[in-house]
Homo-oligomer: A and B are copies of this chain.
Amino acid sequence: MTGSTSERLVEAAFALYEEQGYDRTTVDDIAARAGVGRATFFRIFGSKEDVIFPDHDVLLERIRTRLAHATVGTGPVAVVEAAAVVLDHYLAEGDLARARYRLTRTVPALRHRELAGMQRYRQVFGEFLRSWFAETGQVADGDVLGVQLRAELLADSIVTAHNHVLRGWLRGETADPRTQLRTALAAILDLHAPRPAEEPAAVVVLRADADLASVLPALRAAVHEPPPR
């Protein structure tokens, strides 16, 4: 037997779901194929559906920490990179992600579970954006939509854009999903940006794989420097 118990269960589940279909596969089948007891399956994965999904808790925590490091001026950067964290995870999964895609398209129960998972990402982004809008005054006090709704709307867009790009890659239609996501998110952030725009505005999205704090001073300096004549 290779791999941990958890890995063997995941492999067995994916294999059986694809071979004989989700409905015709029992948890007993999966456990037997992985060489463990049925109880062990339910100890590791709470349900028959959870086996095929990534560990959302881990992913959400990574997003939260990335967003928590955002300062007043770097909200958009943090959002883009947080979304990129999730995308990168799926890209790294490769065939596993593709197999999951085939299943979620076919089995309603799995599609619903995926929806429930996505909602948690919306909430995390939404909560961040709500406080960010409030702190930075991005949304005026007398705004028609209000801070709460504007945060929800943008959070929806972020998640939807991510899923759109991801699906494109899963279908093999996208060569460079990472830049596609960044481009899309830049356009979306521009769409949601405050619109007293008579001034020429610039939305700059950077990828700071290294320490963000170390980049910020240089970035500020670069922006505030007089242009070379």
A contact residues vs B (CB 8 Å cutoff): 111-113, 115-116, 119, 144-145, 148-149, 152-153, 156-157, 160-161, 164, 179, 182-184, 186-188, 190-192, 197, 199-209, 212-213, 215-216, 218-220, 222-228
Measured in the bound complex, the distance between the Cα atoms of B122 and A164 in whole Å is 14
| Top 9 A-B residue pairs of the complex, sorted by shortest distance between their CB atoms | A224-B227, A200-B200, A156-B156, A112-B116, A144-B187, A202-B202, A149-B164, A115-B115, A205-B205
Residue of B nearest to A115 (CB): B115
Chain B positions within 8 Å of A225 at CB level: 220, 227
Q: Decide: A199 and B202 in contact? CB cutoff 8 A.
A: no
Interface of A is mostly: helix
**Bound CA span A37–B112, Å:** 29
Give 7 A-B contacts (CB < 8 Å), ordered by A residue: A112-B113, A112-B115, A204-B205, A205-B205, A205-B206, A208-B208, A216-B222
A7 to chain B, nearest CB (A): 27
Q: Contact check, B200 vs A144: say whether CB atoms are below 8 A apart.
A: no
Measured CB to CB, the nearest residue on chain B to A109 is: B116
Given B119, B156, B213, B216, which contacts A115 in the complex, CB threshold below 8 Å?
A: B119
Do B203 and A212 touch across chains, with their CB atoms under 8 A apart?
no
CA–CA, A160 and B148, complex, Å: 11
B residues in contact with A200, CB < 8 Å:
199-202, 226-227
A215 partner residues in chain B, CB cutoff 8 A: 206, 208, 212
A115 to B120, CA, bound (A): 11
A163 to chain B, nearest CB (A): 8
CB-CB under 8 A from A161, the residues of chain B are 145, 149, 153
Q: Are the CB atoms of B148 and A164 closer together than 8 Å?
A: yes
Instruction: Give the residue of B119, B187, B202 whose beta carbon is less than 8 angstroms from that of A222.
Output: B202
Residues of B within 8 A of A224 (CB): 227
What is the CA–CA distance of A161 and B157 in the complex, to the nearest angstrom? 13
Least CB distance from A24 to B in Å reads: 20
Interchain CB contact under 8 A, B191 and A201? no
Residues of B within 8 A of A203 (CB): 186-187, 190, 201-204
Could you tell me the distance between the alpha carbons of A219 and B208 in the complex, rounded to whole angstroms? 11
